[in-house]
Amino acid sequence: MTTSTTRTTRGKGRDKAAPARPTQKDIALAAGVSQAAVSLVLNKAETPSVPPATRTRILEVAEGLGYRPNHLARMLRSARTMTFACVIPDITNPFYPGLVRGLQTVAAPAGYDVLIFDTDGRPEREARAIDWLLQGRADGVVATFFHLRVPQLAVLARKGIPLVRLESQHKPDGPLAIDSVYIDNAEAAAAMTRLLIARGHRRIAMIQAEFGPSQRRAQGYSAVMREAGLAPDFVTDSAYSEESGARAMTRLLQRKGERPTAVFGASDVLALGAMEAARNAGLSIPGDIAIAGFDDIPVAKLLGLTTVRQPEFDLGALAAETLVRRLQPGGFGSPGKSHELKFEIMKRSSV
């Protein structure tokens, strides 16, 4: 395991200064309650079996005695931060919180906290994330970068910070500790396009974003359209946002000539914006226009949006497992791998 000199030095300095730590037993004695109650209150969010006054008392005593969970002691011993960073382009896109939750679910029992860094999909903020990581703020990283590529990211692996990228396609094995998790975005978009064609649509437009996975999704859509003898029809707006989706749909509806009968948003938030713009224009979905998305964000089900399910929770969990393995002794020895998970087409009422 490679660690930067700074981190090792800091860890050692702190270890010497660490005071004697109270145990849960000490807290139980001081609060005059059972050790089982202390364990419950300190480890569970919900403790219906412990009266609220007892819970408060236990927390106050724990605080008074300076109780800290094992986590901190473990961190001090190992000279690690016991932190994973999750670098995402847009925290307001409901796809990413699911990814973070998957990551946390594996990271927490392994003793790692998860910190989230939102880049807003901007190159300057992605560079800041790298700066911040190079200061030794996290032991490993799960990231979606829209702009930085392996040449710019290699510095992390060289500093002993493993990276798992959320990708839109298979990546060849590499010499560095840069792994990836993905669903086949092109094949998933192709499958959705085939569904739209099977439902009788011929004029199918795709709403794209400027960066990120949109490109691979567009390739899958284009390939199927051409195979079917149909003309791909793209509207590109800047971001993966409802505003971009609504703007793109408005442009589609204002065009002269025949209107598309189906619109495929390169992400669910784009599709949601398109739905809103279509309804505002007095169109019914799917009667006047069918709308499909990509991601299967939590609200897609409630809105009846036909979409591609990305298993975001599982992608996050797999990424965390990969980091945990990389951080075990000898974990840096193996080449960077690309791990595929399966997508699913969710057929709902919008198509």
> What's the CA gap between 156 and 178, in Å, rounded?
9
CB of 132 to its own copies, least distance (A): 6
> Is 117 near its own copies (CB under 8 A)?
yes
- Asked if 197 contacts 230 with a C-beta cutoff of 8 angstroms, the reply is yes
CB nearer to its own copies: pick between 92 and 334: 92
* Separation of alpha carbons 144 and 190, rounded Å: 22
176 binds its own copies (CB under 8 A): no
Q: Which of 25, 36, 49, 68 binds its own copies (CB under 8 A)?
A: 68
Kindly state the smallest distance separating residue 326's Cβ from its own copies, in Å.
Answer: 22
Is 286 one of the binding residues for its own copies (CB under 8 A)? no
Q: Which is nearer to its own copies, 118 or 344 (CB)?
A: 118
Q: Could you tell me if 324 and 121 are in contact, meaning their C-beta atoms sit under 8 angstroms apart? A: no
Which stretch, 42-50, 172-180, 226-234, 329-337, contacts its own copies (CB under 8 A)? 42-50
3-class state of residue 227 by DSSP: helix
Q: Decide if residue 97 touches its own copies (CB under 8 A).
A: yes
- Whether the ω angle into residue 172 lies within 30 degrees of 0, i.e. cis, is no
Strands 306-309 and 344-346, by their bridges, are: antiparallel
**3-state SS assignment for residue 144:** coil
> For the window 205-224, what string marks contact with its own copies as x by the rule CB under 8 A?
-----xx-------------
Secondary structure string (H, E, C) spanning 24-48: HHHHHHHHCCCHHHHHHHHHCCCCC
Q: Does 272 bind its own copies (CB under 8 A)?
A: yes
Give least dist CB 115 to its own copies, A.
5
Our separate counts of H helices and E strands in the chain read 14, 12
Tokens of 207: 């709403």
Q: Are 233 and 205 in contact (CB under 8 A)?
A: yes
Q: Segment contacting its own copies (CB under 8 A): 128-136, 167-175, 219-227, 322-330?
A: 128-136
Least Cα distance to 233 among 213, 257, 211 occurs for 257
Q: Spell out where 288-337 has E strands.
A: 290-295, 306-309
Residue 82 CB, nearest distance to its own copies (Å)? 9
67 close to 280: Cβ distance less than 8 angstroms: no
By CB under 8 A, residue 45 contacts its own copies:
yes
Which of 8, 18, 69, 228 is close enough to bind its own copies by CB under 8 A? Answer: 69
Give the CA distances from residue 73 to residues 18, 43, 218, 345, in Å, rounded to whole numbers and listed in that order.
8, 17, 49, 46
The piece of 121-129, 162-170, 188-196, 215-223 that touches its own copies (CB under 8 A) is 121-129
Minimal distance, residue 52 CB to its own copies, in Å: 10
Which parts of this chain interact with its own copies (CB under 8 A)?
Answer: 6, 10, 41-46, 59-60, 63, 68-69, 71-72, 83, 91-92, 94, 97-98, 100-101, 104, 113-118, 120-124, 127-128, 131-132, 137, 146-148, 151-152, 210-211, 238-239, 242, 272, 275-276, 298-299, 301-303
